[in-house]
Structure 1
Amino acid sequence: MLNKVETVETGWRKARGEPSLLDVFRTISVAPGATPWRKFLAFFGPGYLVAVGYMDPGNWATSLAGGAQFGYTLLFVALLSNIMAIILQALCARLAIGSGRDLAQACRDAYPRAVSWPLWLLAELAICATDLAEVIGTAIALNLLFGMPLEIGVVVTALDVFVILWLQNKGFRWIEAFIITLLGVIAICFGVQIALADPDWGQVVRGFAPTTQIVTNPQMLYLALGIIGATVMPHNLYLHSGIVQTRAFGESLPEKRDALKWATVDSTVALMFALLVNASILILAAATFHKTGQTDVAELGRAHELLAPLLGLSIAPTLFAIALLCCGLNSTVTATMAGQIVMEGFLDIKLPAWVRRLVTRLVAIIPAIIVTWIYGASETGKLLILSQVILGLQLPFAIVPLVMFTASRSKMGEMVAPKWLTVTAALIAAIIIALNMKLLFDLATG
């Protein structure tokens, strides 16, 4: 066993340091001889924290715009994004369990500072773009539910730091319970709205089939990349590789393999749930806005305003706003932890959670306040979509290191990814990079 550990460590430039999120590291026990059901329950949770990032307010904006403009066509992109996410999150769990490092620590320990520091800056940019979407989404939800002005709502969102600190003090299982409860509320809200919208299920099924229009139509490609950026989110790769290590799964090879199996089951089931929510948003937009010729709906506030007359019930807009608020609250919790993991992992700097949260929040709040003050609610949808495109452009800088680390036997030892998984993940990275280049070319040429 000692030789194996030494073999793994010789693949890294630096020795493994303290884990990120030290206060919750290995705090949830996993009984070695437990039944499969008990092991499933032991690993049940991290996948749903990851799934939150796949249905945040930025995702709503891109899915609403895609459904309103192009009907059910972009459902294929939502499905493709989800498949990409399942594979990449499985690699994150493998990296964490096999090497004992999250993705940020792995970059720090594998690369010189000339490489790791730019990667850290890009990761911080991705988290700020994520937080920007959450700030605007939560502020819009507060406005829709309570009539709170957007400018005030944006500032109020900074107070969620106290909710997060309270949950962290209660224990990691409380954070997971909070997240899963709000996800349940979101699912119920959309279930009712889809039933009211009564979509054409034949067209829904056909929407999951691929089409060349997605690449040939620049506007469709822009929204498709926004959906990919909103679905396969860079900060989730850092987050998952950190929170998987809240489980005390043991150090032997059989225990690690067993842990990887259950962690992958957890994330896969959670991401299939996320696909249902994402598809529901797009289907709702297609069945209400696209069907009635309202093809320019991208702002969340306008979508809320149109739901009552189109669906015929006053409860529909309220359900929409409640689901949006739950999404915003959920996303702020996971973005906080991702921010901690990125800063602690890359820089080995331990900041109090409330300091890290406020710094991240301020960076997101300032542009949100400027946009809402100058343009009001009319331009927030465009800012949300732009934030998701920024995430899509940053994705390769997180995916490529992840694929390289998990494919390296010197770094992963016996937990190295099988060839088929590495090839599949590399293909996903190539597709995302190609889409980014096409998008940049289209933007440059007008």
Structure 2
Amino acid sequence: MLKETPALFDREAGWRRPVGDRSLSDVHASIAVPRGRGPWRKFLSFLGPGYLVAVGYMDPGNWATSLAGGAKYGYTLLFVALLSNFMAIVLQALSVRLAIATGRDLAQACRDAWSVPVSFVLWVLAELAIVATDLAEVIGTAIGLNLLFGLPIEIGVVITALDVFLVLYLQSKGFRWIEAFIITLLGVIAACFLVQIVLANPDWSGVASGFIPRPEIVTEPGMLYLALGILGATVMPHNLYLHTGIVQTRAYGDSVDEKREAIRYASIDSTVALMFALTINASILILAAATFHSAGMFHIEELDEAQALLMPLLGAAIAPVLFAVALIACGLNSTVTATMAGQIVMEGFLRIRLAPWMRRLITRGIAIVPAAIVAVLYGESGTAKLLIFSQVILSLQLPFAVIPLVLFAADRRKMGALVAPRWMTVLAAVIAATIVVLNAKLVWDFVIG
């Protein structure tokens, strides 16, 4: 399955193997890019993948870390959300460039560039990241269903497993249907938080000061732990794999000029989408700071506890309902995109070719089974700690996706004329180094207690 093929070594391009099966082959280049039309029409044809990626930046795991951070430290960690979003914009732009320039997703690039043992280790780590992602999404969605409809957590977990059939149905209608579904739910989430923020009436001067960096974010272990949780919930490993796959659903052409144009439009799409994600992430933290921290409730971590306290604090019966609706929408969106990321990772690293429904069933099963077991065992108690821990695990996995991405995008042999500009490479390298250093600091703090 991961057998070496030295005869296919391409010395000129720096790849051990040539381009193989296309990423997400059943929808590859399925969306036409208009030729000879204005820039607005072309941009609209690229609109969509960025919002699928943005979903991963506002999943239920992010809710837990942002709620805990806002309740305990007020608006202080808003800077971390802003910094994380900036990192995400740079890394997703590199993902777009890699995919369009080489015709490979990140998993395929790792497989085609490096030896079998290295590829195998990276595949295992990528799968662990997806399991951690699903742990947050399954628990979050199940809690949302419990809050809104009173369903037991166990039943909610089973319902979340059915999203694979939703993906199959939507993709059978065309990839644009998946994008429309995701963007619609994002609109629902934004509307829910807009109403809650208006009701919370936060201290806007405090909000503004929260975007200013402070040294205690790094020096205080508890704050660093939550900061890394926010980082892990924002810059997520599976999103780098996901973006390199779904951007290839556009039929942008094969010439260097066409690819350069595609990189520009796809990067604009992801940047705008991620700025939207920042407003959602900041809204969660601002809501927690304005309601819980200002009321002296510094240890709000459980999502159900937060929802129950919103009505007495905000004085509106609709607030907890909107909280639960937005949580369900976030969880459903995230499970759909995580399923697709799992497919990209499995096909890219292992070169497994199965029928679309079988591929998704296997990738979903690998991710959701351990997540479901944990969710059922823990039930409603301790879910916030599990959610935050899952986001820290994602942060620890980040270097193993970010470093290969930066190396590939900076390699002129592999990227050709579309190699990343020097300034972008330097910036991405600084981001990768920052992630590694912060993770080392977290591990050191954990070891010394």
Is TM-score (shorter-chain normalized) higher than 0.5?
Answer: yes
Pair 1:300-2:303 in alignment: yes
The residue correspondences of 1:93-242 to structure 2 (distance < 5 A) are 93-242=96-245
Deviates more, 1:177-186 or 1:6-15: 6-15
CA distance in 2, matches of 1:354, 1:136: 24
State, as a whole percentage, how many aligned pairs show the same letter: 71
Q: Is the 8 A contact 2:106 2:240 kept in 1?
A: yes
CA distance in 1, matches of 2:391, 2:338: 14
Match of 2:442 among 419, 439, 443: 439
CA distance in 2, matches of 1:79, 1:70: 16
TM-score (norm 2): 0.96
Pair 1:74-2:102 in alignment: no
Q: Classify the secondary structure of the residue corresponding to 2:386.
A: helix
The aligned length equals 441
Q: In the superposition, relative to structure 1, how do residues 313 and 8 fare at CA in structure 2: closer, same or farther (>3 Å)? A: farther
CA distance in 2, matches of 1:143, 1:95: 41
Q: In the superposition, relative to structure 1, how do residues 372 and 32 fare at CA in structure 2: closer, same or farther (>3 Å)? A: closer
Query: Which residue in 2 is equivalent to 1:3?
Result: none
Match of 2:55 among 43, 52, 55: 52
Query: Which residue in 2 is equivalent to 1:247?
Result: 250
Pair 1:320-2:323 in alignment: yes
1:15 offset after TM fit, Å?
0.7
Q: Is the 8 A contact 2:46 2:266 kept in 1?
A: yes
CA distance in 1, matches of 2:365, 2:445: 32
Q: Is the 8 A contact 1:7 1:413 kept in 2?
A: no
CA distance in 2, matches of 1:368, 1:413: 41
The residue correspondences of 1:250-399 to structure 2 (distance < 5 A) are 250-399=253-402
Pair 1:14-2:17 in alignment: yes
Q: In the superposition, relative to structure 1, how do residues 248 and 421 fare at CA in structure 2: closer, same or farther (>3 Å)? A: same
Aligned AA for 2:140?
Answer: G
| Aligned-residue CA RMSD (Å) | 1.5
Q: Is the 8 A contact 2:98 2:244 kept in 1?
A: yes
1:268 offset after TM fit, Å?
0.2
Q: Is the 8 A contact 2:131 2:371 kept in 1?
A: no
CA distance in 2, matches of 1:374, 1:15: 46
What's the CA shift string for 1:2-30, capped at 9, x where partnerless?
xxxx9996211111101121011001111
Pair 1:429-2:427 in alignment: no
Q: Is the 8 A contact 1:400 1:429 kept in 2?
A: yes
Q: Is the 8 A contact 2:87 2:235 kept in 1?
A: yes
Q: Classify the secondary structure of the residue corresponding to 2:292.
A: helix
CA distance in 1, matches of 2:311, 2:29: 48
Q: Classify the secondary structure of the residue corresponding to 2:382.
A: helix
Q: Classify the secondary structure of the residue corresponding to 1:219.
A: helix
Q: In the superposition, relative to structure 1, how do residues 248 and 308 fare at CA in structure 2: closer, same or farther (>3 Å)? A: same
What's the CA shift string for 1:399-445, capped at 9, x where partnerless?
00000001000000000011110000000000000000000011111
1:199 offset after TM fit, Å?
0.1
Structure 1 gap segments, 5+ residues each: 1-5
Q: Is the 8 A contact 1:64 1:297 kept in 2?
A: yes
Q: Is the 8 A contact 1:135 1:364 kept in 2?
A: no
Structure 2 gap segments, 5+ residues each: 1-8
What's the CA shift string for 1:139-185, capped at 9, x where partnerless?
00110111000111112211121111100100000000000000000
